[in-house]
Structure 1
Amino acid sequence: MKRILSLMFSLLSATAAHAADTIVIGAEDDWYPYAGTVDTKPKGMAVDIVRQAFQKAGVAVQLQSMPYARCMEEAKAGRIFGCFDAARNSVLEPQYLWHAKPLFIARINVYANKDAADKGLTVKNLEGKTVAVTQDYEYGEAFDTNSKINRVVSKHDVQGFRLVNIENTWK
């Protein structure tokens, strides 16, 4: 399953973020190595790409680290110019303005306890199973729209990984 990640820009009216000489873009703070916060500053591969793109375009940009859900909401409300890294899907598509080429493409993997019997799981295999997900993240169209998957929601990726090690979580 692939997660197409795009730098997205919300459909905004003229706001202070637009009128200023420097635009403000939200950077997800918890998706390492793509985007995260190190010493209170946004760091990571996606952060570097976004900075370089705006620099090449001659546009001054300020990147602000924030939780993904807040980043998306701030962009949607027009308080910041945009947010990255989001997976384009049918739910988000009409809510934001997307550029033509994705920032990059990455695979989403399913992680399980090393003793789990199931290997090489697909979205269809996850139906009826309990899966840890991070609050308000996208995991690709097939996963995101499948109501047969039971989700346990946490605020950070690391919390989901910790759940994998809790006995009986996956039964």
Structure 2
Amino acid sequence: METETHPFFRAPARGLAWCLVWCLVWCLPALAKERVVVVSDSWMPYNGTPGSSREGYAVEILRAVFERRGFTVEYRELPWKRAVRDVRSGRADILIGATRDELPDFIFPKTSLGRSELCFFSMDGSWRFTGRESLTGVVTGFVQGHSYPRWFLDDIRRHPERFHALHGDDAFVRMLAMLAEGRVQVIPGSRAVVDFYAQQAGLEDRVFLAGCSLEDDHELFFALSPADMPRSRLLAGILDRGVDTLRNTGHLNHLLIKYGLKDWIKVR
């Protein structure tokens, strides 16, 4: 007995071709609309003003990796504490510039954004940071919600009169301005970040590196939302493969030169 075949399987080759065209028409726009929301407070050269010609090298890495995969990258500048809260809750996907220790519940790719050491800066070229005791006689500014070592946070709690907290989108820029005005005598920060903002403010010859805490040297990462683990793991994998490609093709170095930086990993 002859078996009846469904008309779809008896269609000519051009029928199958039209089916593939239909899939491309309807499926690709859906993929193209896939959005990755990225947040952080302003922290150049990692990330700066959204939509500007210099959004920061971390934002440019994300755009280079995800946009060629059909994603739309939406970068928002938020105060740090709100940025962390939005990524943790799933309202945003990726946080720029976190450490594994400060956000252990987040998903992290294998690829880092480089290293960030805790250094101290002053307008007084004779002042030196030699340990926590050296902060006793000065007023130190800090950004509320940023990751600092436990000893530093303990000092803030025990001696709040010796510290001045700032918060908001441009907290670091305002902290540097307070240093220049003499309202605080010392500020902590990453060398790359302070160097960038000091140069922007024309203070590069007046702000002195006073020393670094060698035990507080950490790798920085993109931190992905714990609210949707499968999606975040997928995005982390795309990031790792994408940054490897940027590095191996030389595109990453080209991108970093724009910010006066070099790759933090030597390619063999």
| Equivalent in the alignment of 1:62 | 73
Taking structure 2 as the reference length, what is the TM-score of the superposition? 0.45
Would you say the 8 A contact 1:36–1:65 is kept in 2? no
Distance verdict in 2 for CA 1:93–1:163, change over 3 Å: same
User: Which stretch has the larger CA shift, 19-28 or 40-49?
Assistant: 19-28
Give the structure with higher Rg (CA).
2
Distance verdict in 2 for CA 1:164–1:53, change over 3 Å: same
How well do the aligned residues superpose, as a CA RMSD in angstroms? 3.2
Matches within 5 A, 1:150-161: 150-155=162-167, 156-161=171-176
* Correspondence 1:83 to 2:92: no
Would you say the 8 A contact 1:54–1:61 is kept in 2? yes
Measured in 2, the distance between the counterparts of 1:72 and 1:42 equals 23
CA shift for structure 1 position 162: 2.0
| Equivalent in the alignment of 1:9 | none
Measured in 2, the distance between the counterparts of 1:137 and 1:161 equals 15
Distance verdict in 2 for CA 1:39–1:53, change over 3 Å: closer
CA shift for structure 1 position 154: 0.9
| Equivalent in the alignment of 1:147 | 154
| Equivalent in the alignment of 1:103 | 113
- 1:98 aligned counterpart, secondary structure: coil
- Residues 73-116 of structure 1: CA distance to partner in whole angstroms, max 9, x if unpaired? 11011112221122332x4223x12222312223343111235x
Gaps of 5+ in 2: 1-30, 157-161, 187-268
CA shift for structure 1 position 21: 4.3
Matches within 5 A, 1:1-171: 21-37=33-49, 39=51, 43-55=55-67, 58=69, 60-67=71-78, 68-89=80-101, 91-94=102-105, 96-115=106-125, 117-119=126-128, 121-128=129-136, 129-139=138-148, 141=149, 146-149=153-156, 150-155=162-167, 156-167=171-182, 169-170=184-185
Gaps of 5+ in 1: 1-18
- 1:27 aligned counterpart, secondary structure: strand
Would you say the 8 A contact 1:23–1:81 is kept in 2? no
Measured in 2, the distance between the counterparts of 1:123 and 1:65 equals 36
Q: How many residues align?
A: 146
Structure having the larger proportion of residues in strand: 1
Would you say the 8 A contact 1:30–1:37 is kept in 2? yes
Measured in 2, the distance between the counterparts of 1:53 and 1:43 equals 15
Measured in 1, the distance between the counterparts of 2:54 and 2:183 equals 37
Structure having the larger proportion of residues in helix: 2
Q: Structure 1 vs Structure 2: percent identity of aligned residues?
A: 18
- Equivalent AA in structure 1 for residue 154 of structure 2: S
